[in-house]
Every structure is written in structure tokens, then in C-alpha cells.
Amino acid sequence: MKTRRLIVLVAVVICLLTAIPGIAQGKVKLTVWGRDVLDDDPAHVSVAALVKGFEAKYPDIDVEWVALGDPGLMDKTKIQMAVGSGLPDIFQTWGGTTMGSYADKGMLLDLTAELKNIPGSAAAASAMTWKGRIYGVAPFFAVAGIFLNEGLFKANGISTKFASVDDLERAAAALKAAGVQPFACGAKDKWPPLAMYMYLTNRYGGDIFTQAAARKARFDADPFVKAATLYQNWVKKGFLGDKPLGEGYGDAQQLMATGRAALHVTGSWMCAQYSSADFTDQNLGFYAFPTIPGGKGKVTDVMGMPDIAYAATKEAASKKAAAVKFLTYAMSTEAGQADPGRIASMPGVISKSNLTKMAVAVFGQSKTVQFWWDQNLPAAITTPLNETIQTFFLPETNVKASLAKYEELAAANIK
Amino acid sequence: MQDSNRTASFSGVRAQALAPGLPRARRKTDLRRIIFITLMLLPAFAALGVFMYYPIEETFRLSLNKASGLGDTEYVGLANYLQLFANEEFRAGFINVLLWAFWSVVVQIPLAFFVAFSLTNYKNRVTRPLRAIYYLANILPSAITAMLGSLVFGNTNGVISSLARNLNITWLMKVDFLGDMRLAFMTVFIVGTWTYSGFYIVYLMARMEQIPTEIREAAHLDGADGWLYARTIVLPMVWYPLRIIAVLCVVGSMKVFDLPFLMTRGGPADATKTLGIILYNRGFRDAQYGLAAAVGVVIFALSLVFTIFQFSLQRRGGDIE
């Protein structure tokens, strides 16, 4: 009788163990929060390949990829970080001050010793470093530049070489005269106009943003106002379309994809789509933003941010080895090579499209990388920043007054 | 009446249970009943406490603090409220929800009455599916209705925009429904009207269908048909549900978030910004939880005022004695 009971007990234990594969095979489960779903969309290909490749290489580690979308990923991460629980082991991030604020609260895993020797671009490594400690990796880095419709420029006899912003302005006027919308933007979504404003401000005032963020200059200083005024003038001239505030970022992409707009100042993350035959039949190029005569900014000053990056949270402390393996694999050439259009941070990745090669060249010639402003300011003043810039699109806006109001907010929130 | 009897009997049981001199066995039974009833009510009270009253209390508490969620909270008293009311964006949001409430009452309710009356009084093969069609927008997720709204009013591939381009209607091509400060609010409101009116229509139809046939026939014999019948007979008979709908409209307007956020993100500038969007931006985007909580308290206070107003209307209407 006792023997029979023992047999039944052993059978039950075996059944339970086999029902939980992780326990049976000693598997570690890594929960990763990402933005995109793992499908074959050109923009999602690399994350899908990362998870698939990693699980194939490390069969003892299971990756549970949770796609939260945009802005779901940022919002959920922010809330869970504030709560201090319910966090994943690894999450997709854009580095900068947002990641830094999580690190300050002790929610991230310091992986300085484990990640410091991983080869990669200095800009990408810097974005994932906060107060000298490394919390993650940025396998892909995005730079802002000008996507330009080569075909439309050629058809209208306009040169694609811009010695200065004056040339860009002349090209825009010529395009408008030819019935083509010069710039696609997506101002309805508020954040897209920032890319061009960052460049215009830099070209007028050099590192004025860094100074303002460090409270050594004001956000209504001359270069900010000049850039805003020029931006507003371009809007008034119709360079950003007849109805720029009704145009979302998706609309802007469509305008470029169908050849109804000729220029788009945005991040190099668009390289995959803009070089995909399924997305557009137009021939697009990628160029650095030109300088302004008499301005302090150089053509080698580039605006950039991590395109896809990951950081580990304190939840991963008990499975640090697995988390490090994931982050290290994300920085491997094999994982980097899977993306069809992004700028890879790791060495040895060959760009698949001409457009990406052009973006890599712009990144390669950069001497200073200024992080995207809204990733480099305290969270409390990032939405107001984008909303302030959106007001430049209204002809009645007094840009100086708008910037002065933003300066007040910055003064109250930057310590 | 039944409810008051139950309450009386429950009170009686309690009184007896506590009264001295009753047989011990009976007192024991009564005590058991009280414990049983208490235990039955406990889950509901616990759920309300955890999911409703505690969050409300926490929101009030948070609204008096400066909190980023990451780091210590600092008690600031009413500073968040003072900051809000001094803020141009908040004032714009406040005015927008009041405008939304005003237009909801002025546009949606007469429209709902008109449609409900037509569908109830002119029944045929066409009107039957129309009931479902009018209600459809109300059951669709707001993300879908916002997407459909953007599809109609969008300026790049929007239906109206494309139509204007194809028919070469120059003036219409220039209209920026979602990007023009003067038009954006009303454009979103039109989509809102389409979305929310379905419920009001169904609600009014349910009341209109309860009007006895004899009344209609008598009105018909007296020559009250069509608009005259609607104005003199139906309108007074649905006056009470109309007032309830009006209050629902106003309370709903205080909380409106989804459509303006999904269609315009509250822009251009502050043209379609609502208190809900400001709360979302401050809390989830800017990590200013204290300020966000203060906005939440303002929305709560406004909703409460209008809810009390609703109850007072119900009392006057005779539903609550």
C-alpha cells in the first residue's frame, strides 16, 4: 500500500515538473518589454530576429517579448518604475534623462563591468551611460537628417547640394513653385517638428541647447528665437504644406512615399521604409542638415538618439548572467545585420540599402552628437517643449513670447 | 416600499438581537443572521473600498503633493491647484470641456430627439436597420471611431480632402479640418456627436415606444400629426429622460479624452485640449503626478456637482421620493 502511494506521489511530481518546462529543463525566463510586435514589418524585422536568434543560440533561456506599442511602452515603463514593482527584466528605452531618472531611483541594474568592453559606437554607449555607470546597450542609433526625393529634385532641375540653409530655402521655394510640397513634417503629432527645430537652433547657436539645459543660457536666447522665427516664416511661406497642423507623422510618410512632398527632416529610423519597394516607388536620399551663414553650428553637429536600445532593471538581478547574454547578443554583428535599414552601433554590419549607407555616412562624419532634446530634458518639460514648437506653426504666435513661457517652465523644473 | 420594509425588518432584527430579555436561542439565531448578512456585504464593501474610495482618497492626497513618482513626495498644500488655475493650458482645457458640454446639450439632444422620433413614428423597412446603424458608433471602440473620423477629415488621404482634390473644389481643398484652430474643435465634436448620439437615440426611443397607442390615436383624431404631435405630445412625455440625458452629456463632457486625444492630441496648440488630455500629459508623459491628481480632483468635483444636479432633477421629476 505504502509503495503504491509512493509511486503515485512520484508520478504526480514528474507530471508537475514536465508541465512547467522552465523548471524541468532548468530554463531561465527573461521578460522583455519592447515597442514593436515581432512580425515581418521592415521596422520590426530586427527585434523579431533578435529574439529568434537569441533563443536559438541560448536554448536554456526563454524570452517573453511583450510588445507595448507607442506610447504604451514609455507610459507603462514610467508608471511601473514609479510604483517600483511589476517591472520586466529588460526594457526597450531611448536612454538619456528618462533612463537616468530610473537609475537614480535604483530601479536599474548597473552592468558597467559586464558591458564596458562591448565594441560599439561611442555615441550609442554614451546614451546608455548615466553618471558614469552603464545600464544597457543601444544596438541601433538614429541620427536626424534630410530625406530628399532625388527624382523630384532632378525633375525640377534643383541641386541636392546645400552649402547652407539659404540653398535649402531656395530649393523649397522652387519646389513650391513647381507644385510640390517642400517639407513633409507631421506637426499634428507634436513631436516631429522638433527634428528641424533642433537643427535650426544648433546652426544658429552651436551648443546653445546644452547650455540652456545646464541653465547656463535661456531657452528664449537669440538662437532659439531666430530658429523659431525662420521656422515660422517657412510655415507662412507654405514650405510645410497648406495644412501643416492637420498632417500627422504617418501622413508625412505617405506624402514622401507618393512623391507629393520632397523633403523630410526626421530620424534615420525611416531608412527601412523609405528604401522599401513595398512602401515607396520614389528614389530617396539622406543628407546632413546644412549650416547657416554666420551661425555657430557645424555640418558635423548631428542630432541623434538610440534607435533601439535596451536596459536591465533590478528585476534581472537574480538572472544577471542571462540578461547580460541578451544585451551582449543584441550588440552582436549577427543581430545587427538583421535590420534592413537602421544604423547599427556595432562594428562589422554592412548596410543593406543605399539610403542607410548615406545615413551611416552622415553619422560617420559627425564630430558632435547632440541627443534629441526631448530625451535630454527632465520629463516634466518634454511635452511642453513639443507643444511650444507646434505653436510656431500658427501664424499669430509670437515665438519669443512662446519661448519665454517655456523658459519659465524650464527654470522651475531644471535643478 | 418593499425596500423600506426590508430595512425596517432588518433594523427590527438588530434591535431584537440586542434587546435583553429575549430567549437565548433566538438571540443566537439573530446574531447569526447579522453575521451572515455582514459577511455577504463585506466583499462589496471591500471591493468598493479598495477600487473606489481608496483611489479617490489617494488622488486627493496626491493632489496636495509634488510627486514625480521617482523620488520623495513633497507636501505643497494647494500649490498644484493654484498652478493649474494660473496655467493657460488648463484654462483652455477647462473652457473646452464646458464648450463640449454646451454643444452636446444644444446639438446632440435635439438631434437624438429628432432621430428617435422619426424612427419610432415612421416604422418601415428602412428605419429598422437604421436603429442599429445609429447605435453602431456607440458600441465601436473609440479608437475606431477616431480613426474613421480622421479618415473622413484628414487632410492628406481624408475622404473630404480627396474628394475636393478629385473634383477640383479649390476652397474645400484648402480647408484644414483638424489643423485649423477655428475648425479642429468642431470637427472633433462632430465625430463625438456621431459616436455618442446613438445611446441617446436608443434611450429616447425606449421611452417614446412606451407612449400608449390611445394617446397617439387621440392626438391623430385631434389633428396633431408630425411635428405638432412631436412638439405637443411626445416632447412633454420624454421631458424627464431628456433632462437625464442632458446631465449625462454634461458629466461625460467633463471627462472627454479619447476622441480629441486620438484625433488631434489636443492640438493645434490648445484648441482641442480637454481636462482628460491635460491629466494624461501631466501624469503619464511628464511624470507630474501631483499636478495630474489635481486635474483629476477638478474633474471629479465638476462631475460631482453635475451628478448632484442630476439627482435633484430626478427628485423634482418624481423618480426618487
Instruction: Provide the shortest C-alpha distance from residue B70 to chain A (in Å).
Output: 5
Closest CA in chain A for residue B72: A105
Closest CA in chain A for residue B89: A384
Given a cut of 90, whether residue B220 has pLDDT beyond it is no
Helix (H, G, I), strand (E, B) or coil at B280: helix
Instruction: Provide the shortest C-alpha distance from residue A245 to chain B (in Å).
Output: 4
Q: How far apart are CA B118 and CA A355, in angstroms?
A: 60
Average pLDDT over residues B13-25: 57
Closest partner CB to A243 (pick from B70, B150, B155):
B155
Q: How confident is the model at residue B318 (pLDDT cuts 50, 70, 90)?
A: low
Instruction: Provide the shortest C-alpha distance from residue A81 to chain B (in Å).
Output: 7
Instruction: Provide the shortest C-alpha distance from residue A337 to chain B (in Å).
Output: 33
User: Angle B184-208/B142-153 helices, nearest 10 degrees?
Assistant: 130
Instruction: Provide the shortest C-alpha distance from residue B267 to chain A (in Å).
Output: 7
Q: How confident is the model at residue B243 (pLDDT cuts 50, 70, 90)?
A: confident
Given a cut of 50, whether residue B11 has pLDDT beyond it is no
Hey, are the CB atoms on B284 and A78 less than 8 Å from each other?
Answer: yes
Hey, are the CB atoms on A394 and B156 less than 8 Å from each other?
Answer: no
pLDDT for the residue numbered A392 = 96
Q: How far apart are CA B64 and CA B75, in angstroms?
A: 6
CB A256 within 8 A of CB A149: yes
Closest CA in chain B for residue A253: B156
CB A380 within 8 A of CB A395: no
Q: Which residues of B touch A (CB under 8 A)?
A: 68-71, 89, 150, 154-157, 173-174, 176-181, 264-265, 267-269, 281, 284-289
Q: Which helix (H) or strand (E) holds B36?
A: helix B24-48
- Chain B contacts of A247, Cβ < 8 Å? 155-156, 179
- Residue A30: what residue type? L
Hey, are the CB atoms on A382 and B286 less than 8 Å from each other?
Answer: yes
Instruction: Provide the shortest C-alpha distance from residue A260 to chain B (in Å).
Output: 10
Given a cut of 60, whether residue A19 has pLDDT beyond it is no
- Which structural domains are found in chain A, ordered by start? 2-141+305-351 (3.40.190.10), 143-304+359-413 (3.40.190.10)
Q: Which helix (H) or strand (E) holds B305?
A: helix B289-317
Closest partner CB to A254 (pick from B70, B156, B177):
B156
User: Angle B127-139/B184-208 helices, nearest 10 degrees?
Assistant: 130
More confident residue, A82 or A204: A204
Mutation to test the A interface, candidates B72, B73, B76, B156, most A Cβ within 10 Å: B156
Q: What are phi and psi of A147, to 5 degrees?
A: -80, 130
Provide the whole-model pTM. 0.82
Given a cut of 50, whether residue B5 has pLDDT beyond it is no
Q: DSSP for B101-154?
A: HHHIIIIIHHHHHHHHHHHHHS-STTHHHHHHHHHHHHHS-HHHHHHHHHHHH-
CB atoms within 10 A of CB A155: 13
Instruction: Provide the shortest C-alpha distance from residue B69 to chain A (in Å).
Output: 4
Given a cut of 90, whether residue B247 has pLDDT beyond it is no
Instruction: Provide the shortest C-alpha distance from residue A180 to chain B (in Å).
Output: 14
Kindly report the average pLDDT of chain A as a whole number: 91
- Chain B contacts of A251, Cβ < 8 Å? 154-157
CB B245 within 8 A of CB B109: yes
pLDDT for the residue numbered A96 = 85
Closest CA in chain A for residue B156: A251
Secondary structure percentages of chain A, helix, strand, coil, to 5: 50, 20, 35
Given a cut of 80, whether residue B17 has pLDDT beyond it is no
pLDDT in tens, A70-103: 878 988 998 888 888 899 999 999 988 889 989 9
Helix (H, G, I), strand (E, B) or coil at A280: coil
Closest CA in chain B for residue A72: B284
CB atoms within 10 A of CB A66: 13
Q: How far apart are CA B269 and CA B260, in angstroms?
A: 12
Given a cut of 50, whether residue B8 has pLDDT beyond it is no
- Chain A contacts of B273, Cβ < 8 Å? none
- Chain A contacts of B162, Cβ < 8 Å? none
Closest CA in chain B for residue A181: B156
User: Residue A13 has which C-alpha cell?
Assistant: 511530481
Q: How far apart are CA A384 and CA A389, in angstroms?
A: 9
pLDDT for the residue numbered B4 = 45
Q: DSSP for A106-138?
A: T-B---HHHHTTS---HHHHHHTEETTEE-EEE
Closest partner CB to B267 (pick from A81, A190, A382):
A190
Given a cut of 80, whether residue A238 has pLDDT beyond it is yes
Hey, are the CB atoms on A380 and B154 less than 8 Å from each other?
Answer: no
pLDDT in tens, A334-350: 999 988 889 999 988 98
| CB-side neighbour CA atoms (13 Å) of A339 | 32
Return the sign of the alpha-carbon dihedral for residues B169, B171, B177, B178: positive
Average pLDDT over residues A157-162: 93
At CA A404, angle to CA A234 and CA B284, rounded to 5? Answer: 90
Instruction: Provide the shortest C-alpha distance from residue B215 to chain A (in Å).
Output: 52
Q: How confident is the model at residue B7 (pLDDT cuts 50, 70, 90)?
A: very low
Helix (H, G, I), strand (E, B) or coil at A74: helix
CB A377 within 8 A of CB A213: yes
Helix (H, G, I), strand (E, B) or coil at B302: helix
- Chain A contacts of B281, Cβ < 8 Å? 383
DSSP 8-state secondary structure symbol assigned to residue A43: T
Closest partner CB to A380 (pick from B157, B269, B288):
B288
Mutation to test the B interface, candidates A99, A191, A243, most B Cβ within 10 Å: A243
pLDDT for the residue numbered B240 = 84
User: Residue A67 has which C-alpha cell?
Assistant: 510588445
CB atoms within 10 A of CB A110: 16
CB B244 within 8 A of CB B315: no
Average pLDDT over residues A229-246: 95
Hey, are the CB atoms on A188 and B288 less than 8 Å from each other?
Answer: no
Helix (H, G, I), strand (E, B) or coil at A308: strand
Hey, are the CB atoms on B180 and A246 less than 8 Å from each other?
Answer: yes
Hey, are the CB atoms on A394 and B155 less than 8 Å from each other?
Answer: no
Q: How confident is the model at residue A272 (pLDDT cuts 50, 70, 90)?
A: confident
- Residue B304: what residue type? L
Burial class (CB in 10 A: 0-12, 13-18, 19+), B219: middle
Closest CA in chain B for residue A99: B70
Burial class (CB in 10 A: 0-12, 13-18, 19+), A333: middle
User: Residue B198 has which C-alpha cell?
Assistant: 446613438
Angstrom distances, CA of residue B107 to CA of A384, B120, B149: 33, 20, 18
CA-based radius of gyration for chain A: 24
Q: How far apart are CA A91 and CA A34, in angstroms?
A: 6
Q: Which helix (H) or strand (E) holds A65?
A: strand A61-67
- Chain B contacts of A379, Cβ < 8 Å? 68, 285-287
Q: How confident is the model at residue B253 (pLDDT cuts 50, 70, 90)?
A: very high
pLDDT in tens, B295-306: 999 999 998 888
Q: How confident is the model at residue A20 (pLDDT cuts 50, 70, 90)?
A: low
Closest CA in chain A for residue B292: A380
Q: Which helix (H) or strand (E) holds A262?
A: strand A261-267
- Chain B contacts of A108, Cβ < 8 Å? none
- Chain A contacts of B155, Cβ < 8 Å? 243, 246-247, 251
Hey, are the CB atoms on A188 and B156 less than 8 Å from each other?
Answer: no
Q: How far apart are CA A229 and CA A244, in angstroms?
A: 16
pLDDT in tens, A310-331: 999 999 999 999 999 999 999 9
CB B178 within 8 A of CB B150: yes
- Chain A contacts of B150, Cβ < 8 Å? 248
Closest CA in chain A for residue B181: A394
Instruction: Provide the shortest C-alpha distance from residue B280 to chain A (in Å).
Output: 10
